[in-house]
């Protein structure tokens, strides 16, 4: 089983960071991961549990399903199709720092992949997570 985890502290309140990071379609404007659409809306919230987001980039079409949704606290998702990650479970956690004007985001996942691709997959996943969080930070500062 592969494990990847990245963290970033944002100079913004938790509600603001949560609103941007869990607005799946909004990723298209800032995440740098490609065009993002909703194939299916969530049960209780458009982007919440049951939502299926589709990320399209460079000929790939990655489908992910939100499996857990705790507003301003955490969100979990799993890859359904589009990349060779099996038993994938991703988790994004949000915590207030200091006076509540800054937020720590921890984005982690665990998964299995094709034999021989473990190290490469960890580099790619870590880069995607880190890059998206860096771009979100710049987006929030603008």
For 48-78, the pLDDT digits (tens) are 999 999 999 988 999 999 999 999 999 999 9
Q: What is the pLDDT of residue 66?
A: 98
Element housing 27 (H / E): helix 27-30
Q: What is the pLDDT of residue 52?
A: 98
Q: Please say if the pLDDT value at position 9 is more than 90.
A: yes
For 13-43, the pLDDT digits (tens) are 999 999 999 999 999 999 988 999 999 999 9
For 88-128, the pLDDT digits (tens) are 999 999 999 888 899 999 999 999 998 889 999 999 999 99
Q: What is the pLDDT of residue 107?
A: 98
DSSP for 45-106, written as a single string: STTSTT-EEEEEETTEEEEEEEEEEETTTEEEEEEEESSSEEEEEEEEEEEEETTTTEEEEE
C-alpha 77/C-alpha 45 separation (Å) is: 15
Q: What is the pLDDT of residue 51?
A: 98
Q: Please say if the pLDDT value at position 137 is more than 90.
A: yes
Domains in the chain, CATH or no CATH each: 2-141 (3.30.530.20)
Q: Please say if the pLDDT value at position 142 is more than 90.
A: no
């Amino acid at each position: 089983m592969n494990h990847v985890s990245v963290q970033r502290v944002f100079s913004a309140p938790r509600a603001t960071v949560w609103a941007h990071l869990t607005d799946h379609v909004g990723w298209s404007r800032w995440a740098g991961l490609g065009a993002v659409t909703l194939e299916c809306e969530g049960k209780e919230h458009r982007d919440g549990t049951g939502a299926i987001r589709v990320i399209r980039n460079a000929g790939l079409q990655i489908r992910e399903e939100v499996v857990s949704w705790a507003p301003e606290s955490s969100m979990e998702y799993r890859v359904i199709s589009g990349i060779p990650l099996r038993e994938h479970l991703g988790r994004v956690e949000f915590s207030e720092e200091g006076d509540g004007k800054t937020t720590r985001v921890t984005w982690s996942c665990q998964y299995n992949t094709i034999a021989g691709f473990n190290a490469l997959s960890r580099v790619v996943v870590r880069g995607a997570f880190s890059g998206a969080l860096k771009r979100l930070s710049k987006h929030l500062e603008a």
